[in-house]
Structure 1
Amino acid sequence: MALLHGGQLQQMATRYQVPVDEWLDLSTGIAPLSYPIPAVPLHYWQQLPQLAPHLNLAARDYYQCQNILVTNGSQSIIKALPNLWRQYNQQSNKVYLPAKGYKEHEHAWASAGYNICYYHDELPAKTDLSEHCVLVVINPNNPTGKLFTQTEICQYQKTIKEINGLMVVDEAFMDVIEPDQSITSFVNNTDHHTLVLRSFGKFFGLAGIRIGFLITSDYWQRAFSEHLGPWQVNGPAQYIAELALKDKIWQQQQRENLHQLRLQQEALLRDVLGSEIIAEVVSTNLFITLSFNQLVIAKLLHELLCKLGIYVRLTDEQTSLRFGITTKANFPRLVDALLQAKIQLKK
């Protein structure tokens, strides 16, 4: 069964009878400001996509890593990994996953028959990790915002290697973390026990071109490349991504803009809803997650906002709402909808 995610705007439009073009979609963690699409040379549209050495070099420089595989997003890697790992290590049967987090990881491992063990705010004790296990870390976590330091993750990286396990680090939202806590520079060509997933679309605001990166050893690059087959990433996407990854000036401006928008939007949410409704706010510069004083509020507020054409993400536990970052132009509409919803909550 397919999992529910943010970004399913057509379904929401049908459900709430609000035309698609009348929604304010805050259901994803995709930047509201996107890298400007350049004119793409015609041959990228006419030819089958080839291996792009210049994109590879640009990605290795941006992610500060030795080896990288260009993919059509993280999802194909997440789905293929359990069976490929079983081929590599048939003794592995236990996977440690965050209790709250991107559920496609859990879905993939559970569907492949692995035993799932959950951890909560902190990583499981290194002494509790079993031989041959898999440890999945979403860093920073979506939607909780929990961030583990580079030092912490590298300590676990060493332990996982010692027990012949696998560590999967999903760094989809790492681009906006300063100072950088990524472990991409700590993955070398002989390390068959670490995989790092990086997203392109979220920070660059271009999720529609479906491109991502896997940082790992040559062994896993070959294994995934053979499994996924040729032509995974279209030529225009590769061309755009190469330019974006090289554009350091735009990247710095994007970080500054997202930071300011997040601060302003977070203040807006606090001011409108107030401490009588909000219990906790956690955030990155790509999303803001609200928890509430009463558990029922998240579901009620989600429903009220949807009826007003404001699409936010109700977490899987239905106890929190995650708001994607939007632009200042949309602030008045968001405030108006929140005020209307707040009145309804008090009835």
Structure 2
Amino acid sequence: MLEHGGRLRAAAQQYAIAEADWLDLSTGIAPWSWPIAPVDARDWARLPETDDGLEAAACAYYNAAQVLPVPGSQAAIQALPRLRGPVGKVGVLSPCYAEHAHAWRKSGFLVREVLEREVEHFIDVFNVLVVVNPNNPTGRLIAPEQLLKWHARLVERGGWLVVDEAFMDTAPAHSLAAETWRSGLIVLRSFGKFFGLAGARLGFVLAEAGLLQALASEIGPWAVSGPTRKVGLACLSDLPGQQLQRERCEYAALRLSALLSAHGLEPDGGCALFQWLVTAHAEPLHEFAARRGVLLRLFKAERAEHSSLRFGLPHSEADWQRLETLLHDYRKDLK
């Protein structure tokens, strides 16, 4: 399996630091989790049903004509290649979330990872183009107009444009959700990142009805548990809570960028849920932090100067102070 952030237990074992003593900044998950009402015992005892209002709430939240709830957008990433045949050529705009290229390769597709400037050159040979927008880990946003131009080129030949919008909740104006009535346009949305509830394992696929029906058949019945559906419905319907979450994420991202810059680590990218830094010091800083119980997300490259770190958002003032002290001590240690 591929490497991901959030492997706190493994870090605790490796560095002999109790899990409770860590500051985990290795994920792009909002550190403020939605308050959850107690789950009725009947929700655990019954199979989930699809007439509870979750789909309607998701359509309203995402501004989409139809949606399919899935057990995390990762489930859709793995299932989509099985719906696409015959095996063909897939472009993945990189660097990005590594599971996309992995899933298509695993299903036998020829995958080419391309830079944004290379898409125009290769797009007419691709059967599928995958774009993460905003990108993870760079935070790069591609304008909807550009994505729709690529989609038009692909769909002429029966192709797909798959857009992973896992980090789009704080920038809805850039979403293609409202355009998913178009044939060959598939948008993936993550629930857990923005709402701070990654453990719920909930995501949504936005696409034309026929494709959603095929994907539902591929994933199978009762994919999302009853308690998770109830939590999702409550969060997607909570408009004041969503506004508060957007505001504090955006403020924290600006604060994090300023803090890193003040210590000579100006970010190279990011979004409202994380900041991204390319530096030759990525590996030593990751190790320095881990030995002090602060977990960052390291992206190794063949050349050290191309390696990078992703910093998630601290939760509390104590967490901010701990991160500031760490950065101060690291800079002092370099001298």
| TM-score scaled by length of structure 1 | 0.91
Equivalent residue for 1:303, pick from 266, 273, 287: 287
Match of 1:321 in 2: 309
Q: How does 1:234-253 map to 2 (within 5 A)?
A: 234-253=225-244
Match of 1:138 in 2: 132
Q: Report Cα offsets for 1:10-49 as digits up to 9, x if no partner.
A: 1111111111111000000000112111122332122111
Distance (Å, rounded) in 2 between the aligned partners of 1:138 and 1:32: 22
The structure-2 alpha-carbon separation of the partners of 1:131 and 1:338, relative to structure 1 and needing over 3 Å to count, comes to: closer
Contact 1:121 1:146 in 2 (8 A): no
Is 1:186 aligned to 2:193, yes or no? no
Match of 1:46 in 2: 45
Q: Which runs of 5+ in 1 are unaligned?
A: none
Distance (Å, rounded) in 1 between the aligned partners of 2:95 and 2:106: 18
Q: Counterpart of 1:114 in structure 2: which amino acid?
A: F
Q: How does 1:151-300 map to 2 (within 5 A)?
A: 151-177=145-171, 180-188=173-181, 191-271=182-262, 273-274=263-264, 278=265, 280-292=267-279, 295=280, 297-300=281-284
Contact 2:183 2:208 in 1 (8 A): yes
Match of 1:115 in 2: 110
Superposed CA RMSD: 1.6
Is 1:94 aligned to 2:82, yes or no? no
Q: Secondary structure at the match of 1:116?
A: strand
Distance (Å, rounded) in 2 between the aligned partners of 1:176 and 1:57: 21
Match of 1:60 in 2: 59
Contact 1:301 1:345 in 2 (8 A): no
Q: Counterpart of 1:185 in structure 2: which amino acid?
A: A
Contact 1:97 1:117 in 2 (8 A): yes
Aligned-residue offset at 1:316: 4.5
Q: Secondary structure at the match of 1:136?
A: strand
Match of 1:150 in 2: 144
Is 1:334 aligned to 2:323, yes or no? yes
Alignment identity in percent?
38
Contact 1:71 1:232 in 2 (8 A): yes
Distance (Å, rounded) in 1 between the aligned partners of 2:224 and 2:192: 13
Distance (Å, rounded) in 1 between the aligned partners of 2:246 and 2:117: 27
The structure-2 alpha-carbon separation of the partners of 1:52 and 1:7, relative to structure 1 and needing over 3 Å to count, comes to: farther
The structure-2 alpha-carbon separation of the partners of 1:123 and 1:149, relative to structure 1 and needing over 3 Å to count, comes to: farther
Distance (Å, rounded) in 2 between the aligned partners of 1:75 and 1:200: 11
Contact 1:131 1:164 in 2 (8 A): no
Distance (Å, rounded) in 2 between the aligned partners of 1:130 and 1:291: 32
Count of aligned pairs between the two proteins = 330
Q: Which runs of 5+ in 2 are unaligned?
A: none
Distance (Å, rounded) in 2 between the aligned partners of 1:325 and 1:129: 36
Contact 1:132 1:164 in 2 (8 A): no
| TM-score scaled by length of structure 2 | 0.94
The structure-2 alpha-carbon separation of the partners of 1:153 and 1:303, relative to structure 1 and needing over 3 Å to count, comes to: same
The structure-2 alpha-carbon separation of the partners of 1:311 and 1:17, relative to structure 1 and needing over 3 Å to count, comes to: same
Q: Report Cα offsets for 1:130-160 as digits up to 9, x if no partner.
A: 3561100000000011101111111222111
Is 1:26 aligned to 2:25, yes or no? yes
